[in-house]
Amino acid sequence: MSSTLPLLVDGAWLEARIDDPGLRVIDASWYLPSENRDARAEYREAHIPGAIYLDLSVDLADPDAPVRNTLAAPDALARALGSAGISNAHDVVIYDRKAGYSAGRVWWILRYLGHQRAALLDGGFEGWSSEGRRLSREDVTREAQDFVAAPEPAWLSSSADIASVLERDEARILDARSSERFRGEGPEPAGHPGHIPGARNLPWSDNLHGDPGRFRPIPELRKLYEDAGVRFDAPVITTCGSGVTAALEAFVLTLAGHPEVSVYDGSWAEWGSADGFPIETGPAR
């Protein structure tokens, strides 16, 4: 296990440590049903050596919740991570096949559970493979470990928290959906068209540049968020369709130095489909 683990690592960093017994690598690839892709099948075709696969919707979600991808209870998350071979002592590097799209969700879950030693792989699977690094088809299983959850509630927000923000203007709400969905234009798969009143918008893909996508330099990221209306001296609650790319933006804000970020787990799947929650359309005010 490394003495320090950066929030963001590159392929060379990971390749040099790939056989470290104190390291766990997670393939967190996940897709919307409309994408018609099977993330687990893609994992079986090729993945980073030693990586385990975790499915956001199956392994880490509450199956009885009315809203898709709702975070499972801390004890259930701890059992899932421990069963996958992850303990509190492990360094964890997470990647996906869309440059952080869903990997950020697993990073955020670990942070919520009190696990500080987690990083994303810059460029994800596509970056790793484009660099000619070795791949595996082995379906990896790890010996079960004890993972003890120590939840940090500040990482998690609810609809009640959003309502409080709207009433008291306590924090900036930042929406990671596309600009079209934010404005309420075209089909909205997660509820009524529009956005939470007063929210600002920064599409999750704006955090990336190049092909394969990699994160923009930190000064560029800070400017992106500041231009979107985010203050780095005031709390931020991120939201999206179902809490996936909202978690990626929580990661990026943390990477850029923001000290107080939380994720609205229900996101638009909850807010946009509930009766009585206020909704706006059009551009950010």
Model confidence pLDDT, tens digit, residues 207-221: 999 999 999 999 999
Regarding whether 207 and 88 lie in a shared domain, the answer is: no
Q: What is the CATH number of the domain that holds 196?
A: 3.40.250.10
Model confidence pLDDT, tens digit, residues 134-186: 999 998 999 999 999 999 999 999 999 999 999 887 789 999 999 999 999 98
Distance CA 46, CA 137 (A): 5
Q: Please say which residue of 151, 177, 196 terminates a domain.
A: 151
Q: Kindly report the number of other CB atoms within 10 A of residue 169's CB atom.
A: 10
Q: What is the pLDDT of residue 3?
A: 53
Regarding whether 141 and 235 lie in a shared domain, the answer is: no
Q: What helix, strand, coil percent values describe the chain, rounded to 5?
A: 30, 15, 50
Buried b (16+ CB within 10 A) or exposed e, 84-104: bbbbbebbbbbbbbbbbbbbb
Residue 200 located in a structural domain: yes
Regarding whether 222 and 158 lie in a shared domain, the answer is: yes
Residue 134 located in a structural domain: yes
Residue 161 located in a structural domain: yes
Model confidence pLDDT, tens digit, residues 55-84: 999 999 999 999 989 999 999 999 999 999
Residue 98 located in a structural domain: yes
Catalytic residue among 56, 86, 162, 240: 240
Q: Is residue 13 annotated as part of the catalytic site, yes or no?
A: no
Regarding whether 175 and 142 lie in a shared domain, the answer is: no
Q: What is the pLDDT of residue 170?
A: 74
Residue 223 located in a structural domain: yes
Model confidence pLDDT, tens digit, residues 96-105: 999 999 999 9
Residue 284 located in a structural domain: no
Helix (H, G, I), strand (E, B) or coil at 136: strand
Regarding whether 95 and 218 lie in a shared domain, the answer is: no
Q: What is the pLDDT of residue 119?
A: 98
Residue 127 above 90 pLDDT? yes
Model confidence pLDDT, tens digit, residues 219-235: 999 999 999 999 999 99
Q: Which two tokens stand for residue 181?
A: 């969905």
Regarding whether 145 and 26 lie in a shared domain, the answer is: yes
218-227 helix and 245-255 helix, angle to the nearest 10 degrees: 120
Regarding whether 227 and 205 lie in a shared domain, the answer is: yes
Q: Please say which residue of 151, 182, 197 terminates a domain.
A: 151
Regarding whether 116 and 171 lie in a shared domain, the answer is: no
Q: Which two tokens stand for residue 23?
A: 């390291």
Answer left, alpha or beta for residue 26, where phi above 0 means left and psi between -120 and 50 means alpha: beta
Answer left, alpha or beta for residue 199, where phi above 0 means left and psi between -120 and 50 means alpha: beta
Tokens 């209306």 identify what position? 229
The confidence band for 85, taking pLDDT boundaries of 50, 70 and 90, is: very high
Regarding whether 199 and 88 lie in a shared domain, the answer is: no
Q: What is the pLDDT of residue 203?
A: 98
Q: Which domain holds residue 221?
A: 154-271
Tell me the DSSP string of 186-229: S--TTSSSSB-TT-EE--GGGGEETTTTEEPPHHHHHHHHHHTT
Q: What is the pLDDT of residue 169?
A: 76
Residue 118 above 90 pLDDT? yes
Total tally of structural domains belonging to the chain: 2
Residue 44 located in a structural domain: yes
The confidence band for 1, taking pLDDT boundaries of 50, 70 and 90, is: very low
Mean model confidence pLDDT for the chain: 95
Residue 121 above 60 pLDDT? yes
Kindly give, in sequence order, each residue whose CB lies less than 8 Å from that of residue 61, ignoring residues fewer than 6 positions away: 68, 69, 70, 71, 72
Q: Please say which residue of 151, 176, 210 terminates a domain.
A: 151
Q: What is the pLDDT of residue 285?
A: 81
- What percent of the chain is modeled with pLDDT above 70? 99
The confidence band for 189, taking pLDDT boundaries of 50, 70 and 90, is: confident
Regarding whether 145 and 13 lie in a shared domain, the answer is: yes
Regarding whether 88 and 110 lie in a shared domain, the answer is: yes
Backbone angles phi, psi at 16, to 5 degrees: -70, -15
Q: Cis omega before residue 189 (within 30°)?
A: no
Q: What is the pLDDT of residue 4?
A: 80
